[in-house]
Amino acid sequence: VNVLKKKNSYIELLRFLMCIVIVLHHSGFLADESIRMPFPFGALAADFFFMLTGYFAYAHLLRREDDPDAYKDGTMRYWMKYTLAKLKRVLPYAALGIVAIYVLEFFWPSEEIPIVDRFMRLQNMPFELTLTPMLGVIPIDLFNYRNAPLWFLSSMMVALPLLMFLIKKYKDVFTSYLVWFLPALLQAWMVVTYGGVCPWTQFSGIVYCGVIRAFGDMMMGCAIYIAAKALGEKLKTSGVAIKLAMTILELGMLVFIFLEFHRGLAPYDQIFVLYVIEVMLIIAMSGCGYTSKIGGSLFEGLGKLSMPIYCMHWAVYQYVARFCAGI
């Protein structure tokens, strides 16, 4: 199916919209307590990005499957290089956001502290710049993790190479079983243990939940690829009525997702929203609706803005909170 092989402008638009949801969600952490946080469950938009990451990684695996030179240096080495290459593209924006926050804390701290203590506060910066905090090398909380939204990139660096190595090595068990069942098992465990599917700062006893969340969501992304390809092949000759119905269903789910982001969600409602996102992406990626026909450089340009905005918005908020309190 062609849509599986070329850039989908509609998906690029969704990337931008989901990024804005996250930005608005995070604004609530710096607002006055009397102001209701916009998109209180906008944190689920991060799961959307993990799903896309898994989708494109699995598509890449299939493209390189028959290449005899792809894994000549080792399978895990290949996927580490793949992951680092993806992170390298956004690292300048991540570094700018990180350094900006540390500069703010050093020169304009919120309270008067000795110069020695200001230097001591810089000790976590190398770990943040190398995207390693989710390994547990610094305390995972909003005070010590200065550019905290970058837990997404740190978790991806840990989880993605391992997941793709295992899928490459044990493709049958993963594609026939694990990608369909293990994400739900992990989500149920988080709900029962932590009361929801959004935790990332909690330590599971082995690894931080952010890494587990990334692993499960990226497995869902692999399942999206498999299901989208099957759906696209089944409906590739469908008529206008079917395409229109699929488009209405897809857009209806998108509206539902945004409405759910904006209201309070019980733990199992959060799981339900994740699977609505998954089904929506299956339809979008299958090409069996009209959203895949959307084109144009505008949406692609907005998609490219999503990660720079994500990497730097927390620094912007910190400066706003410091110099424009009460805005």
pLDDT digits (tens, 9 = 90+) for 150-181: 999 999 999 999 999 999 999 999 999 999 99
Predicted model pTM: 0.94
- Residue pointed to by tokens 């499960």: 216
Instruction: Please provide the size of the chain in residues.
Output: 327
pLDDT of residue 216: 98
Residue 220 pLDDT > 60: yes
The tokens for 84 are 């680092």
Euclidean distance between CA atoms 48 and 195, whole angstroms: 20
Longest pairwise C-alpha distance within the chain: 71
φ, ψ (nearest 5 deg) of residue 208: -70, 150
pLDDT digits (tens, 9 = 90+) for 237-248: 888 999 999 999
pLDDT digits (tens, 9 = 90+) for 268-302: 999 999 999 999 999 999 999 999 888 878 999 99
Euclidean distance between CA atoms 82 and 218, whole angstroms: 15
Give which of 235, 197, 233 is closest to 216, Cα–Cα: 197
pLDDT digits (tens, 9 = 90+) for 108-142: 988 888 999 899 999 999 999 999 999 999 999 98
